[in-house]
Structure 1
Amino acid sequence: MNVTDLLRSLALDPADLKPTPHRQATAQDAAERLGPDPLPCAACGTPARSTRIIDTPSHGRRWLELCRDCMLATADRRRPTEPLAATLEVLRDAAEQVGVTVRVLVDSPKAA
């Protein structure tokens, strides 16, 4: 989902979101926004569980804090672009590089 669609689906005006620092934002910046007293979700006001930076066309880079439900409601649910076999091969290669054994378990197909 692009930024414009994301903001529209949450009924948010980018002008209402806090601008990011002029310097490169860090993981510490994000952690402080979600610390012991997390900021409210920009969409519904409940305590936020995630934060990210969005680059809005009209207002530049802004923080977007979302609660679990609002985050899941706007998550990208498109199917992966890579076939599962290719993804598993990358995971196997990465595991081999660090000396970890990986076994993929798959449920057997259900009878019709």
Structure 2
Amino acid sequence: MEPADLLFQRGVAPALLEPAPPPPARRETLDRVAAWPPRPCSACGTEAVTARAVTCAGAGPRWVDLCRDHALAVRRPSRVPATLEGIAADLYAAAEEAGLSRVTFYSSFEAAAVGRPEEDPQ
């Protein structure tokens, strides 16, 4: 779910949220989260633990402060492959793109130590 969808579901008008700089620097976001007293969650009012700048239709960039539960609800999906085969395929593709002609991946350091001859400089 996107933060704007969460705000809509909770009946929060984006125009009521503080304007955010477009786009805020990481330092600004960290300073906002570390400020005392803690800001309330934009969705439920409990103590916020994170903040994001969200561009809202008609309101521009706004700060969305979120508690743990709401931050998890709008977490961006992982782009990491879910299987070992998928991870290996990504690594092989990256090696190929980098121009590496001979790449071998091992399941552990121990397997790599056994699988590599001592005279092999790689």
Pairing 1:52-71 to 2, within 5 Å after superposition: 52-71=52-71
1:81–1:10 Cα change, 3 Å: farther
Letter in 2 for 1:32: D
Per-residue CA distance 1:46-71 (angstroms, 9 max, x = gap): 21111111111110111111000122
What RMSD, in angstroms, separates the aligned Cα atoms of the two structures? 3.3
Please list every run of 5 or more consecutive structure 1 residues that lacks an aligned counterpart in the other structure: 95-100, 104-112
TM-score, normalising length: structure 1: 0.63
Partner residue in 2 for 1:48: 48
Partner residue in 2 for 1:25: 24
1:29–1:13 Cα change, 3 Å: same
TM-score, normalising length: structure 2: 0.59
What is the percent sequence identity of the aligned residues? 32
In our comparison, the structure showing a higher alpha carbon Rg is 2
**Regions of 4+ moved over 4 Å:** 79-83, 91-94
Offset, 1:36: 4.8
Offset, 1:76: 5.5
